[in-house]
Structure 1
Amino acid sequence: MAITILAPVVEDVRQDDSHAPHGYADQSMSEDSDSDVEMGGVSLSQKRRPRDSNNLATGIMTPGEVVTDDPQWMRGHGTYTNPLSTSIIATVAGHIEKVNKLISVRPLRARYTPEIGDLVVGRIVEVQSRRWKVDVAAPLLAQLPLSAINLPGGILRRRTSADELQIRTFFSEGDLVVAEVQSVHQDGSASLHTRSLKYGKLRNGVFLAVTGTGGSGASSSKPKKSGSSLARDWGVVRSRRQVWTQQTASGGADVDIILGVNGYIWISKHVEGTDAASSASENVSITRMEEMVSSSIYSSQNDEISPQTRHEISRLSQCIQVLVQNGVRVEMETVQAAYEASLQVDLEVGDDEDELSEEGRDYLEGNKASRLIELVEQRWAKQEKIE
């Protein structure tokens, strides 16, 4: 005999007001769908999220929340469609992004998704026979083939078994490299290359990791402004300049800053001659470029760095950390503004030893971090008025 399962039916609590407590029957029950009716702590109807003029939910979405039920929208990344209805439901926690009729949810935090042409900073984690495995903050390790680097020798040649035996002399476990994404495979892993003299092994500096999505939403040419303050958004901008030389104060030398789209940042002492070699590599053939390559570019020995330069490298690192902690997007303009603001904060502190000790004067946290962000926002507000 077949068994029929009936759906549960919730009785209307308003059908019998005679047994209700005194005063309960006098309370009007709103028929609005946005109201909540609770029985025994169980909500019978939930409040709807506020929607804009396009019938889209506003604010930060959470997994399982309905973005829209309008059939005119197409679902994008971070969403899925209920097969029994036209509702588009979020699968990640983040903000809604619209491109024409395509709707997607950009996560607040996510692993880096490689794209061809991205400048990334990575760490060698494994050495294989003909390639290196590189950690670039992506779901899968990227690979750097032996054929995708410049080897000393002066000629364009095939990589032989002798090169494979000496592969650890070029890059070994723990080395930091700056490279470009050459291709992306179907499984999402990336292949890197360092064929330009602008890329290669990193030294004479400090490594910094930035949390966030890493490159997503980086199509804007300038930092977004909202009123008099910068719009809060994490990650490194993909379309902006990512490598530049920063002039420092307090007697420090110039400092090179590399902003990897994957959220890995490298701050190092500027070495004279690297700019000339990089510009020359853009105007010469591949064979001539390999003649310019020497074994010194694969050296792991750091150069001598003065205490003043070390101090300014540390200051820049702290400025970037303050930007990240306050949700400001990291790019050349914001980093430079934060560095100048940190110098102004030091001038405001003065020489009062009772207020701050000499060791704590260089620590950019607490009230000093709040003041730094305030000065950065004021600078962008002035530029917005000028424009």
Structure 2
Amino acid sequence: MKETQLNLNQTQKIRLQRALDTLHSVSSKSLSDASVTVADPIPVNLHDSSILKGHGTLDLDGELISTNCGIVERVDRLVYVRSTKSRYIPETGNVIVGRVVEVAQKVWKVDVNAYHEGSLMLASVTLLDGIQRRRNEVDELNMRNIFEENDVISVEVRNVQNNYTAQLQARSDKYGKLDRGQLIVVPCYLVKKRKQHFHQLDQYGVLIILGCNGYVWVGELIEAKDSMEVDISEQTHGGFTKSEEKEQHTTSLETRQNICRISNAVRVLAILGFNITVEVILEIFELSKSLNVEIHDMLGGEFCVLVAEKEAERRSKN
């Protein structure tokens, strides 16, 4: 928890500490959510030959000991400790959000919150026309028509090189440039790899992308148009003028408020150090609306303490 971001009075500090103690007692019973420090024992049965000891663990006198501070993770038979202070370590198949920092020859350099910038090759991107073909010199000259510096994009890790440099790809329609939204940076250990990282909230008109690298995107949900439909529309109406196109893409006030409220819900989870899932985000979103909490007041001490208490109560019941 980032205590420096919360201005709490004495009563709120006591309430928050009580909630965190409850959460710690509950999480210590679960291997997947247990937080450990150096020399803490990890509750596993080492007599089970199927157990694989991973990074951050040490077999000492028949007991599995943590060698760093972090979160105990278990992937099938592998048990390891994921550090809470390290940068993102790319893994093949991860859905991530990044920011373009450089347009080079046939490649975009992307900030992915790792030790090295990711590489997105021109051949690994779906072109604007959608046709699968070899990339030529004209495509290379038009790279900035696809992505340019400071663009926020969603991509997938294709593979990882020996120096942990991520090779990226954006071959599906769900990947690509993101706009009209907010990019929130959270510790990468708070976002776990799941089957679904794209969440379309149709009732709120919001798209949430939980990047495994700790970059979370909250933006307007835009309905993708079929390319043939767009061509017919342009032939019929002669295309949009710049003023008409700007009016066509105006985001409604209600959608902007939903984006800001959901973004602050993500920030509250990051401040408290809770795992970030779409279910918990929506619970905090609905809680703030039911209590008539203003968007800017969601980052205040009282609401954060209330969220911690609600989370402690929920986990205790589960």
TM normalised by structure 1 equals 0.59
Q: 1:95-134 counterparts in 2 under 5 A?
A: 95-96=71-72, 104-134=80-110
Once residues 360 and 100 of structure 1 are traced to their aligned partners in structure 2, the CA distance between those partners, rounded to angstroms, is 40
The one-letter code matched in structure 2 to 1:342 is S
For 2:283, the equivalent position in structure 1 comes to 337
For 2:301, the equivalent position in structure 1 comes to 366
2:269 to 323, 346, 361: 323
1:174 to 141, 146, 150: 150
For 2:211, the equivalent position in structure 1 comes to 260
Structure 1 residue ranges without an equivalent (≥5): 1-51, 53-57, 214-234, 281-287, 350-358
Greater relative contact order (Cα < 8 A, sep 6+): 2
The one-letter code matched in structure 2 to 1:374 is E
CA contact (8 A) 2:154 2:170 kept: yes
For 1:200, the equivalent position in structure 2 comes to 176
1:237 to 192, 206, 220: 192
Listed one character per residue, the Cα deviations across residues 140-164 of structure 1 (whole Å, up to 9, x for unaligned) are 1111000111113453321111221
Residue 67 to residue 371, structure 1, CA distance change in 2 (3 Å): closer
CA contact (8 A) 1:61 1:96 kept: no
For 1:352, the equivalent position in structure 2 comes to none
Please state whether the residue corresponding to 1:239 is helix, strand or coil. Answer: coil
The one-letter code matched in structure 2 to 1:255 is V
Q: Is 1:78 matched with 2:29?
A: no
Identity %: 33
Residue 254 to residue 71, structure 1, CA distance change in 2 (3 Å): closer
CA contact (8 A) 1:204 1:303 kept: no
CA contact (8 A) 2:188 2:212 kept: no
CA contact (8 A) 2:261 2:295 kept: no
CA contact (8 A) 2:41 2:65 kept: yes
In our comparison, the structure showing a higher alpha carbon Rg is 1
For 2:255, the equivalent position in structure 1 comes to 309
Residue 100 to residue 323, structure 1, CA distance change in 2 (3 Å): closer
CA contact (8 A) 1:345 1:372 kept: no
Residue 172 to residue 339, structure 1, CA distance change in 2 (3 Å): same
Once residues 59 and 198 of structure 1 are traced to their aligned partners in structure 2, the CA distance between those partners, rounded to angstroms, is 34
CA contact (8 A) 1:345 1:368 kept: no
Residue 309 to residue 134, structure 1, CA distance change in 2 (3 Å): same
Number of residue pairs matched by the alignment = 266
Once residues 296 and 138 of structure 2 are traced to their aligned partners in structure 1, the CA distance between those partners, rounded to angstroms, is 53
Please, what is the CA RMSD of the aligned residues?
Answer: 3.7
CA contact (8 A) 1:95 1:106 kept: yes
Please state whether the residue corresponding to 2:266 is helix, strand or coil. Answer: helix
Residue 344 to residue 97, structure 1, CA distance change in 2 (3 Å): same
For 1:23, the equivalent position in structure 2 comes to none
Q: Is 1:185 matched with 2:120?
A: no
Please state whether the residue corresponding to 1:113 is helix, strand or coil. Answer: coil
Structure 2 residue ranges without an equivalent (≥5): 1-27, 29-33, 235-239, 241-245
